[in-house]
């Protein structure tokens, strides 16, 4: 067995292969340009291998993941030049007609990777949230990626803005949704400095923790996952975790039992490899 994985991100594409026994054997990373530039490089990489039984394609979204839809396999509205309505799965299938494909979002793949081999290893369910340039989330329930008419868009959940926070919010669609208030660019614009330049005891982090905790409360109430895993650049601020747990406890107000919060709200274990690991695992599941 030889399977491939692709993590198609807004800034870079990571491609890898594995035989399923020896972990990631081969990988490359290339900048995300236009499909005309990026796809031939991707084919060139996978063409080196005789035959790939399956490829897991995990893409930045929004993407059409509904097999009943006419545009299944395409990237939907995106500001990324050239990728809007690009049928990325169709292009892959046309080039590799004898290969099976798994197709999902980058964050769903990361959630799957963390569930099988990372911070939620051994569990049946988890939610993965990445807090970086945007906020994205993936959900695994009963060991399966959760999907309805489309994939969840947890990063855009509506939350209560703190009365003392006058920042208008960065989301072009909703302004003060979770992403609009708590992603890296929101921190930078609200406080006038990039997150990594703010001291660990800056008030920015308490506000950030409260917003992320609200998201965790909503997630716990709605999906009851066994663990919530945070990735992305902003979650590298380790001081956030105790504050998120504290705020979660306060806002949940004892209403439902959750696992011990130190085990419930945690940092990624696979780091930047969560997405590509999940893509490879999803490919192997096709066989
Ligand atoms: P991307 O989301 O583009 O894949 P990142 O997850 O690194 O990449 O997110 C980038 C955003 O996160 C930027 O807004 C940046 O300011 C912020 N960020 C990155 N690293 C840190 C850090 N250590 N502390 C706080 N904010 C960070
Ligand atoms: Zn939004």
* pLDDT 10s digits, 233-252: 999 999 999 999 999 999 99
Q: Is the pLDDT of residue 54 over 90?
A: yes
Strands 54-59 and 135-141: unpaired
Ligand 1 centroid to 197 CA: how many Å?
11
134 Cα: distance to centroid of ligand 1 (angstroms): 9
CB of 234 sitting under 6 A from ligand 1? yes
Omega prior to 62 cis, within 30 of 0: yes
Instruction: Report yes or no on 110 lying in a domain.
Output: no
Measured from the Cβ of residue 133, the count of other Cβ atoms closer than 10 Å reads 15
Residue 236 lies in a domain: yes
Buried b (16+ CB within 10 A) or exposed e, 80-102: eeebeebbbbebbbeebeebbbb
Residues 151 and 226 in one domain: yes
pLDDT digits (tens, 9 = 90+) for 255-280: 989 999 999 999 999 999 999 999 99
Dist. CA 51–CA 97, nearest whole Å: 11
Answer yes or no: are the C-beta atoms of 248 and 15 closer than 8 Å: no
**Ligand 1 pocket test, candidate residues 11, 189, 232, most atoms within 8 A of CB:** 232
Mean pLDDT for all residues in the chain? 96
pTM of the model: 0.96
What ranges in the chain are assigned the alpha helix state H? 35-47, 88-95, 106-117, 178-182, 184-191, 203-223, 240-252, 261-264, 274-285
Query: Sorting pLDDT into bands at 50, 70 and 90, what band is 21?
Result: confident
Q: Is residue 51 part of a domain?
A: yes
Kindly state whether residue 243 falls inside one of the protein's structural domains. Answer: yes
C-alpha 84 – ligand 2 centre gap (Å): 18
Q: Is residue 114, in this structure, part of any structural domain at all?
A: no
Q: Is the confidence at residue 22, as pLDDT, over 80? A: no
Q: Say yes or no: 97 and 128 in one domain.
A: no
Q: Is 171 part of any domain? A: yes
> What is the structure's pLDDT at 25?
81
Ligand 1, atom 7: closest residue by C-alpha: 233
In this prediction, residue 23 carries a pLDDT of 77
Q: Could you list the residue range(s) of the whole structural domain that residue 217 is in? A: 119-269
Q: Is residue 112 part of a domain?
A: no
Co-location of 55 and 155 in the same domain: no
For ligand 1, say whether the CB of 232 is within 6 Å of any of its atoms: yes
Cα 147 to middle of ligand 2, angstroms: 19
SS3 178: helix
CATH of the domain at 276: 3.30.420.40
Burial bucket for residue 254 (CB in 10 Å: 0-12, 13-18, 19+): exposed
pLDDT grade for 28, boundaries at 50, 70 and 90: very high
What ligand 1 atom has the least distance to the C-alpha of 184?
Answer: 14
Å from CA of 4 to ligand 1 middle:
27
Question: Measured between alpha carbons, how far apart are the two ends of the chain, in Å?
Answer: 9
- Distance from Cα 180 to the centre of ligand 1, integer Å: 14
Verify whether ligand 1 is closer than 6 Å to residue 136 (CB atom).
no
Q: Is the pLDDT of residue 26 over 90?
A: no
Hey, CA dihedral for 73, 54, 232, 241, is it positive or negative? positive
Q: What is the mean pLDDT of residues 211-216?
A: 98
pLDDT in tens, 100-135: 999 999 999 999 999 999 999 999 999 999 999 999
Which of 58, 195, 199 maximizes ligand 1 atoms within 8 Å of its Cβ, making it the mutation to test the pocket?
A: 195
| Residue 144 domain-assigned (yes or no) | yes
């Amino acid at each position: 067995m030889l399977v491939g994985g692709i993590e198609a991100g807004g800034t870079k594409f990571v491609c890898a292969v594995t035989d399923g026994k020896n972990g990631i054997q081969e990988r490359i990373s290339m900048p995300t340009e236009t499909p005309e530039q990026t796809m031939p490089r991707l084919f060139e990489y996978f063409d080196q291998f005789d035959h790939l039984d399956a490829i897991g394609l995990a893409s930045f979204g929004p993407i059409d993941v509904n097999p009943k839809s006419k545009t299944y396999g395409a990237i939907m509205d995106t500001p990324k030049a050239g990728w809007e309505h690009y049928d990325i799965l169709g292009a892959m299938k046309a080039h590799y007609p004898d290969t099976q494909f798994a197709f999902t979002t980058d964050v769903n793949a990361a959630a799957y990777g963390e569930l099988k081999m990372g911070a939620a290893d051994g569990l049946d369910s988890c939610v993965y949230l990445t807090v970086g340039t945007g906020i994205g989330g993936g959900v695994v329930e009963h060991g399966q990626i959760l999907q309805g008419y489309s994939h969840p868009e947890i990063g855009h959940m509506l939350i209560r803005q703190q009365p003392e926070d006058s920042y208008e919010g960065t989301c072009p669609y909703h302004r003060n949704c979770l992403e609009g208030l708590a992603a890296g660019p929101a921190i930078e614009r609200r406080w006038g400095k990039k997150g990594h330049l703010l001291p660990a005891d800056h008030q920015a982090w308490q506000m950030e923790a409260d917003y992320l905790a609200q998201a965790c409360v909503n997630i716990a109430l709605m999906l009851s996952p066994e663990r919530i895993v945070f990735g992305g650049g902003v979650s590298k601020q380790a001081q956030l975790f105790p504050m998120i747990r504290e705020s979660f406890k306060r806002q949940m107000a004892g209403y439902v039992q959750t696992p011990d919060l130190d085990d419930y709200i945690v940092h990624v274990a696979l780091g930047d490899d969560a997405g590509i690991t999940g893509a490879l695992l999803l490919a192997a599941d096709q066989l």
